[in-house]
Amino acid sequence: MPGSTRQFKNDVYEQLARVGKAVSAPKRLELLDLLCQGPRTVESLADQAAISVANASQHLQVLRAARLVTAAKKGLYVEYRSADEEVCRFFVALRQLATSRLAEIERVTRAFMEQRGVLEEVRGEELIRRVRTGEATVLDVRPVEEYQAGHIPGALSIPLADLKTRLRDAKEREVVAYCRGPYCVMAVDAVTLLRERGFRAHRLEQGVADWRARGWRIATSLEQAARVRRKRIVR
């Protein structure tokens, strides 16, 4: 019957719209981006997104209602995480679509990067080649908990706040810094600092979510610790 067919389509598109509505607010997109880096408490998310805890909680409830994030009690706090890797692939695809369609994103990004002197970036394929051949040292400048949740294989964890005190004199090696993706500025700040100290430094545009979306392997701290244990056993 035409009526039942129409109702079927109405019902399906109404459910699809739930996801669209959930990601229609800029701060909810930022929270989703943060959760693609690893699980976080409401308090941590609020701090990173520069909003109040109450506001962050409201946004998270909307994302949770659309089944994009999950929550679990962890001690005295509630910890949120992306529902699964498909959610982060969706976020990366949405970001890429918006970038390809909206010239304003490119204009704003280019103006900011040019002002900071780090417009050029090393892309994923080139980074893989340089890491495999030992040409570059790869730095993950995100917070430690994000590195532990997942990082580019071979990357060293040096959070931006610790970078000044952990720099060494191996300036003959090229350094590639990455953080959360093309619109994260931690890698921008890291490259600026490294260049001031005489390093040949570049910014990697892709982050862990981009790495996963391409099907490239992601390492975890548990995996790295297991490798260390195996080496000790062999020795």
Instruction: Report, as residue numbers or ranges, the catalytic residues.
Output: 179
Of 127, 134, 135, nearest to 177 by C-alpha is: 127
Coil, strand or helix at 51: coil
The helix or strand, by DSSP H or E, that contains position 204, with its residue range, turns out to be strand 200-204
Of 172, 176, 223, nearest to 203 by C-alpha is: 176
Full DSSP string of 80-149: EEES-HHHHHHHHHHHHHHHHH-HHHHHHHHHHHHHHT---EE-HHHHHHHHHTT-EEEEE-S-HHHHHH
